Chain A
Amino acid sequence: MSTTDKTILTRRTLLRGTAAGATLLATPYFFTKGAYAQDFCNMPTGDTVTLGFNVPQTGAYADEGADELRAYQLAVKHLNGEGDGGMMNTMSPSALKGNGILGKKVAYVTGDTQTKSDAARASAKRMIEKDGAIMITGGSSSGVAIAVQGLCDEMGVIFMAGLTHSNDTTGKDKKRYGFRHFFNAYMSGQALGPILAEEFGSDRRAYHLTADYTWGWTQEESIKNATENLGWETVEAVRTPLGAGDFSQYITPVVNSGADVLILNHYGKDMVNSLTQAVQFGLREKQANGKNFEIVVPLFSRLMAQGAGEAIKGILGTTNWNWSLQDEASQAFVKSFGQEYGFPPSQAAHTCYVQTLLYANACETAGTFLPTEVISTLEGFEFDGMGNGPTLYRAEDHQCFKKVLVVRGNENPESQFDLLKVVKEVAREDVTYDPSIFGGELGPNVVKTC
């Protein structure tokens, strides 16, 4: 037995050595050569340019994801000169010609993030490594957006964030290759604060229920800061797991906590569930400290309002954009989207459409797809006619600054989409902040070859 073992051992060593040797030899030359012989990652060489749309198609944010995908497809159509052009006609300044980007026809690939960082990164990697996508865009969860943004920055592919509201996306975790058009939790706090004081007075006691991840944390912090500056007191801030479903165990303690305002830092299905349950518990009919009990949902979206139904009526919150806006650009977009799909776009669809156009425009302006040049063009880019009034892509943190809408759940909706009523359009100056407050670093603007 021992003799056979010995022969096996030596053979094994030999075989393993051979395998390892072959691996090492094959590694550098064989396959890397063709893939990396380019000036920058996924330089478009043919007559098309590929964009990667990475959205949640399954899971808690699937509704948002589906709407985002619709907007992307519409944007591609418009960029290729099909359809009525939508906001391409209202954007200023604009270098877009309606013949693709830099004369190359726009093609796209799609992927499912499953609202999971792992799956989202795998999907983005496929787009970059296999499909040759030159730009990745999408999201609908800040956790996912931050994870994909990090990946894109490593690989040298520009990431145009979709719906992500956490301060971290352009704060602590900001990246040179990442850009966000959507507003953030800090801006929500700044915009909402004065309205809350106006409506509810300045001696309120607030109770927070917060989704336990990056977006929830930063929103809780931002709203807390904003309301405490008004003179409000924070009774307690409770973290709830994402996708909890049943919030009754978190809502019961609110009743006897001595609080008179409940702030729900929830989004998507979580918000639909927690708000509906809070209303069912009769919180809104309650009196506390001699005042009417109030509920606030700092980040609102029409899709969520649709889910929450009756419960949404009269609730205050903020939103990035709403289809009922009357400016020319918003109208053009709503018309174009409505003709294509038969219903108005959500704020998620709006921000994704705008991001795609902004990227295309930056390429046209720079005259190249070279990411470093596109980044420099986007940094500090000042534009208008995209539905949010004059907007600035700030160079320091790649965050867009524009007006923020404070909205209220519509008491008497005229249609099934007429769910949010704009209370106030808070001016851009009032929500602008110093980029250094969140820390983080963009990193160098250098070319990477995947």
Chain B
Amino acid sequence: MRKIAISDGDIQVSTRQLPPEGPEPKPITPAAKDWMLFLGFAATVLTMPIWLQPLGAAYPDLLQKFAIFGIFAIGFNILFGLTGYLSFGHAAFLGVGSYAAVWSFKLFTMNVLPAMLLGVLVAGLFALLIGFISLRRAGIYFSILTLAFAQMSYNLAYSVLTPITNGETGLQLRGNDPRYIDRAFGVESVGLPQTNLFGIDMSGYPGFYFCAAVLIVMFLIAMRIFRSPYGLKLRAIKSNQNRMAYTGFNTRPYLLGAFVISGMYAGIAGALLAVTDPLAGAERMQWTASGEVVLMTILGGAGTLIGPFLGATIIKYFENIFSALNEAELASAFSFLPPPLQEFAVTIVNPFVGEGWHLTLGVIFMVIVIFLPGGLVEGFRRIGRLFRGRSGKRTASQAEVQPAE
């Protein structure tokens, strides 16, 4: 125990001297830079309804999805980005969080706070169980184990556990649900009740701002984890687990911790899905959903703070906006061209929108993985370096040296 405490201190010192994001220009300290990043992030998220307007994405449901899947991806990144353990089953925690939240609405109250608490707790416990078993293996075996567990959960939710999950139909609210706490306070509603935060309805824009607030808090927590000695140890596990074990660390508790934390993030995201739309379906746990969060993280930039949120936004944008374009809309978009050219353009573009949106996403994903292995964040950094000119080059060469030590 004591030995670990001492090395904690040692590593802490080294963080201060050599922040992993690369050396900074002198006047701005790393802490101050972090706060700027955080404030910038918060401002960006809260103003999404304004600056997404021209992109056609500024409507509550999609904005909520941006925030929720942002949380999901940020949490996933704590495991994948820091430790390098690729979980292919994180959707299971998302689903469990949703089910727990909907049950809280059904049994206790329509207030969202107990639902979120229950969602996080249940997802955390579930992650503890699955992580405890899966983390006995590393690499591809770990991925396969998590995938198997998630698929098992999906199938259980789909058929065996129908009394709890309502199978394919999905768990929904009913007028005659017990809602013991609400009933005890004499809250009655006409028709189906709405989820609320002490009286504020959690649909539409209020729902988005609630999700955004949670996202900002979750981002802050993730940032603190990234910058903490604990985060550094997780990185150490990624770079060389054996070496870390030789220095006297038992890596498993750290890994399990990271796994549970990211599972709880997924639980929060799942609970928020239920908050904004009180319905939980088994398809949330399907392996495609687990794969989606991996895509989001890699697309944005694994191991970076802002990357996963970027990736989540882009994927959800494609899923909701690109998939809805149809031939008629394309034709009107290309109406500035002469008719034969217009027809030609529509024919070319048509397979990439509407039901073909996966194709576009696949192309973008390939391009990014091949040319920007660090995701979009790396792209932004390269652009930033171009603008910074010579001083930027110096930073680049130093940053390249860093992993070798």
Is B61's CB under 8 angstroms from A22's CB?
no
* Cα-based distance from A214 to B31 in the complex (angstroms): 55
CB distance from B207 to the nearest CB of A (A): 10
In chain B, residues 30-87, which have Cβ atoms closer than 8 Å to a Cβ of chain A? 31, 35, 38-39, 42, 46, 49, 56, 59-62, 65
Q: Which residues of A contact B324 (CB under 8 A)?
A: 109-112, 123, 126
Q: Which residues of A contact B46 (CB under 8 A)?
A: 19, 22-23, 26
* Cα-based distance from A441 to B174 in the complex (angstroms): 10
CB distance from B91 to the nearest CB of A (A): 11
Choose one: B38, B172, B281; the contact of A15 (CB below 8 Å): B38
Is A150's CB under 8 angstroms from B192's CB?
yes
* Cα-based distance from A176 to B9 in the complex (angstroms): 64
Is B279's CB under 8 angstroms from A147's CB?
yes
Is B167's CB under 8 angstroms from A213's CB?
yes
Contacts A23-B212, A143-B170, A214-B168 given; indicate if A12 touches B192 (C-beta within 8 A).
Answer: no
Chain B interface category by residue count: 35 or more
Is A122's CB under 8 angstroms from B209's CB?
no
CB distance from B211 to the nearest CB of A (A): 10
In chain B, residues 201-233, which have Cβ atoms closer than 8 Å to a Cβ of chain A? 203-206, 209, 212-213, 216-217, 220
* Cα-based distance from A122 to B324 in the complex (angstroms): 11
Q: Is B338 an interface residue (CB 8 A)?
A: no
Choose one: B39, B49, B191, B326; the contact of A110 (CB below 8 Å): B326
Q: Is A403 an interface residue (CB 8 A)?
A: no
Q: Which residues of B contact A173 (CB under 8 A)?
A: 172
Q: Which residues of A contact B320 (CB under 8 A)?
A: 122-123, 126
Q: Is B162 an interface residue (CB 8 A)?
A: yes
* Cα-based distance from A204 to B213 in the complex (angstroms): 63
CB distance from B371 to the nearest CB of A (A): 29
In chain A, residues 1-42, which have Cβ atoms closer than 8 Å to a Cβ of chain B? 1, 4, 8, 11-12, 15-16, 19-20, 22-24, 26-28, 30-32, 35
Is B162's CB under 8 angstroms from A116's CB?
no
Query: What is the chain A residue whose CB lies nearest that of B158?
Result: A241
Contacts A130-B59, A153-B191 given; indicate if A8 touches B31 (C-beta within 8 A).
Answer: yes
Q: Which residues of A contact B194 (CB under 8 A)?
A: 154
Q: Is A101 an interface residue (CB 8 A)?
A: no
> Which one of A11, A19, A109 has the highest number of Cβ atoms from chain B below 10 Å of its Cβ?
A19
Q: Which residues of A contact B168 (CB under 8 A)?
A: 143, 212-214, 242
Interface string of B1-22 (1 = CB under 8 A from A): 0000000010010000000000
Choose one: B190, B209, B281; the contact of A444 (CB below 8 Å): B190
Q: Is B351 an interface residue (CB 8 A)?
A: no
In chain A, residues 207-251, which have Cβ atoms closer than 8 Å to a Cβ of chain B? 212-214, 239, 241-242
Is B279's CB under 8 angstroms from A125's CB?
no
Q: Is A51 an interface residue (CB 8 A)?
A: no
Is B190's CB under 8 angstroms from A446's CB?
yes
CB distance from B369 to the nearest CB of A (A): 24
Is B167's CB under 8 angstroms from A129's CB?
no
Q: Is B355 an interface residue (CB 8 A)?
A: yes
CB distance from B258 to the nearest CB of A (A): 22
Contacts A27-B209, A126-B324, A143-B168 given; indicate if A117 touches B281 (C-beta within 8 A).
Answer: yes
Q: Is B238 an interface residue (CB 8 A)?
A: no
Q: Is B179 an interface residue (CB 8 A)?
A: no
Is B65's CB under 8 angstroms from A122's CB?
yes
Q: Which residues of A contact B35 (CB under 8 A)?
A: 11, 15
* Cα-based distance from A202 to B61 in the complex (angstroms): 54
Q: Is A400 an interface residue (CB 8 A)?
A: no
Is A212's CB under 8 angstroms from B167's CB?
yes
CB distance from A46 to the nearest CB of B (A): 16
Is B59's CB under 8 angstroms from A116's CB?
no
Contacts A12-B220, A153-B192 given; indicate if A441 touches B175 (C-beta within 8 A).
Answer: yes
Q: Which residues of A contact B182 (CB under 8 A)?
A: none
Q: Is B378 an interface residue (CB 8 A)?
A: no
CB distance from B132 to the nearest CB of A (A): 28
Q: Is A360 an interface residue (CB 8 A)?
A: no
Contacts A117-B279, A154-B194 given; indicate if A23 touches B213 (C-beta within 8 A).
Answer: yes
Choose one: A1, A20, A154, A450; the contact of B213 (CB below 8 Å): A20
* Cα-based distance from A23 to B56 in the complex (angstroms): 22
Interface string of B264-285 (1 = CB under 8 A from A): 0000000001000101010110
Interface string of B178-196 (1 = CB under 8 A from A): 0000000000001110100
Is B326's CB under 8 angstroms from A129's CB?
no
Sample of 26 A–B contacts (CB below 8 Å): A1-B9, A8-B31, A11-B35, A16-B216, A19-B46, A26-B209, A28-B206, A31-B205, A35-B205, A110-B326, A111-B323, A118-B284, A119-B283, A122-B320, A125-B61, A126-B62, A130-B62, A142-B169, A143-B170, A146-B169, A153-B192, A154-B192, A212-B167, A212-B168, A241-B155, A242-B168
Known: A19-B216, A27-B206, A117-B279. 6 other contacts (CB 8 A): A32-B205, A110-B324, A147-B170, A154-B192, A212-B167, A441-B175
A residues with a Cβ closer than 8 A to B are 1, 4, 8, 11-12, 15-16, 19-20, 22-24, 26-28, 30-32, 35, 57-58, 109-112, 116-119, 121-123, 125-126, 129-130, 142-143, 146-147, 150-151, 153-154, 168, 173, 176, 212-214, 239, 241-242, 441, 443-444, 446, 450
